[in-house]
C-alpha cells in the first residue's frame, strides 16, 4: 500500500489541516504516518487514521527518515516553516537528504504537495 508521511511545523499546521481535509478521500486510500502533533491534529480534524511517530523535536523526523532509508516510504509532505529556526534543524536536514538519496518524492509546499498526492493516487489507479 502507498505509504506517505505528513509533517508540518506549527505555523504550517493550519495549511496541513486544510490540505488533509481537501484531499481526505485520496489520503484515506493511503497508509499514513506523521510526526506527533501533526498526526494528532489531522486525526482530530478529519476521519483519517495516521500512525503517530514522536513529535519532530523529539525524533519524529528521524523515525520517518529511517523508514525512507529502509525503502518503506512512497512520498513525504513536509510543510516547513521557512521563517522560524527549529531546534532540531539537523534532523530536518537529514530527512530532506535521505529523501534525495533514495529518490523519494518530497513536497515542502502546498502546491507541490498537491502534485505528489495526485500523482500517487494516479499510480495507485494504474496498478
Q: What are the residue numbers of the active site?
A: 61
Decide: is 37 part of the binding site for ligand 13P (CB under 6 A). Answer: yes
Out of 35, 42, 74, 76, the only residue in the binding site for ligand 13P (CB under 6 A) is 35
Candidate segments 18-26, 50-58, 102-110, 114-122, binder of ligand 13P by CB under 6 A = 50-58
With vertex at residue 125, the alpha carbon angle to CA 100 and CA 48, rounded to the nearest 5 degrees, is 75
Decide: is 108 part of the binding site for ligand 13P (CB under 6 A). Answer: no
User: Helix, strand, or coil here: 4?
Assistant: strand
Q: Is 26 assigned to a binding site? A: no
Residue nearest to ligand 13P (CB): 56
Q: Is residue 45 within 8 Å of 20, Cβ to Cβ? A: yes
Decide: is 65 part of the binding site for ligand 13P (CB under 6 A). Answer: no
SS3 of 78-120: the string is EECCCCCCCCCHHHHHHHHHHHHHHCCCEECCHHHHHHHHHHH
CB atoms inside a 10 Å sphere around CB 83: 7
Decide: is 38 part of the binding site for ligand 13P (CB under 6 A). Answer: yes
Decide: is 75 part of the binding site for ligand 13P (CB under 6 A). Answer: no
Candidate segments 23-31, 49-57, 105-113, 119-127, binder of ligand 13P by CB under 6 A = 49-57
Nine cell digits for residue 21: 481535509
For residues 1 and 14, give the distance between their C-alpha atoms in angstroms, rounded to a whole number.
27
Q: Per the annotation, where are the binding residues? A: 9, 13, 35-38, 55-56, 88
Residues of the shown chain interacting with ligand 13P in the complex, contacts defined by CB under 6 A: 7, 9, 35-38, 55-57, 60-61, 92
Amino acid at each position: 500500500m502507498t505509504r506517505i508521511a505528513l509533517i508540518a511545523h506549527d505555523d504550517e499546521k493550519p495549511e496541513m489541516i486544510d490540505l488533509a481535509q481537501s484531499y481526505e478521500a485520496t489520503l484515506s486510500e493511503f497508509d499514513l504516518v506523521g510526526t506527533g502533533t501533526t498526526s494528532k491534529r489531522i486525526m482530530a480534524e478529519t476521519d483519517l487514521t495516521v500512525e503517530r511517530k514522536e513529535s519532530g523535536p523529539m525524533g519524529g523526523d528521524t523515525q520517518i527518515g529511517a523508514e525512507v532509508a529502509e525503502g518503506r516510504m512512497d512520498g513525504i509532505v513536509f510543510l516547513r516553516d521557512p521563517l522560524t529556526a527549529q531546534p532540531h534543524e539537523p534532523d530536518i536536514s537529514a530527512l530532506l537528504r535521505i529523501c534525495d538519496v533514495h529518490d523519494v518524492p518530497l513536497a515542502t509546499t502546498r502546491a507541490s504537495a498537491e502534485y505528489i498526492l495526485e500523482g500517487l493516487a494516479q499510480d495507485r489507479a494504474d496498478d
